Amino acid sequence: MVLTPVKSTKTYEVVAEQLRQAILDGTFASGSKLPSVRLLSQQFSVSQAAVREALSALQALRLVTMRQGEGTFVQSYDPAKLVHTLEDTARLHSTEIQSLLELRKVLETGVCHLAAIRCSTEQLQVLRNILGKMQADLASCELGEQTDWEFHYALVQASGNPYLVALMDAVAGEIQGALLASRQALYHLPDEPKRLLEQHRKIVQCIADHDTKAAEQAMMEHLTHVENALHLPPPLRS
């Protein structure tokens, strides 16, 4: 398969679809490492941000896995179980997103509590740097799903608990898929990108202040806001 430059208003979707086809036809074999984000952006003639969002969409499809510091690798997959359109995958069922938000409320409020106690100066700077990337995404009208994931993963690392990191790793693909679907929906709302950025800034400020209760509350407010803005159904009760 020959990769061609992309010209589209939804660039990352076109990039993701071309890469998906390249994986399915064997151009990128199972277990192989994909070219770097920089090289792919040159190959497709698109921004590196668009490539990162495309790779996140493919990770949600479970076609690739992104390893910190190593790169992106093609996963083995069962063709019979593969979802055949990126549109279907990007739009997770509302009950799936609801369930993931419930999990995140339990997991990430506790993460913020611990991060407010344990976050090092270096980890705090990582979070602030990610806020800077979020601001840049906002300025360039990028969806910013990958940067959003980096933020929440950095929070878990700042908790200092390896088991919490392992739990986040276990649901990484599902959460990234949900982040992509959520941002696609939320970014149609007036001023929503700015609102989400401010919520992330508040979380970091509470952690910097070592205020455990405020950090927990800021995360809960953020996730509840997302839940309400998406008009998700209320959780099932026994």
Q: Lowest-pLDDT range, 63-67, 80-84, 100-104, 185-189? A: 80-84
Is pLDDT at 199 greater than 80 in this prediction?
yes
Class at the top of the CATH hierarchy for domain 91-229: mainly alpha
Provide the pLDDT confidence category of residue 90 given band limits of 50, 70 and 90: very low
List b or e across 196-210, with b for residues whose CB sees 16 or more CB atoms inside 10 angstroms: bbebbbbbbebbbee
pLDDT at 87 over 80: no
pTM of the model: 0.66
The ranges of the chain annotated as CATH 1.10.10.10 are 11-81
Task: Return the minimum-mean-pLDDT range out of 4-8, 61-65, 144-148, 202-206.
Answer: 4-8
The pair phi, psi for residue 64, each rounded to 5°, is -135, 165
Residue that wins the pLDDT comparison between 235 and 115: 115
- Report pLDDT for 238: 47
User: 134-153: per-residue pLDDT in tens?
Assistant: 999 888 777 788 889 999 99
Q: pLDDT at residue 54 above 60?
A: yes
Annotate the chain with DSSP letters as a single string: --------TTHHHHHHHHHHHHHHTTSS-TTPBPPPHHHHHHHHTS-HHHHHHHHHHHHHTTSEEEETTTEEEEPP--GGG----HHHHHS--HHHHHHHHHHHHHHHHHHHHHHHHH--HHHHHHHHHHHHHHHHHHHTT---HHHHHHHHHHHHHHTT-HHHHHHHHHTHHHHHHHHHHHHHHHTTSTTHHHHHHHHHHHHHHHHHTT-HHHHHHHHHHHHHHHHHHTTPPPPP--
Which residues make up the CATH 1.20.120.530 domain(s) of the chain? 91-229
Query: pLDDT value at position 20?
Result: 87
Q: Is the pLDDT of residue 78 over 70?
A: no
**67: β partners:** 71
**Residue range 40-47: mean pLDDT, rounded:** 92
The predicted model gives 184-193 an average pLDDT of: 81
Rounded distance between C-alpha atoms, residue 16 and residue 122, angstroms: 34
Considering the domain delimited by 11-81, tell me its CATH architecture.
Orthogonal Bundle (1.10)
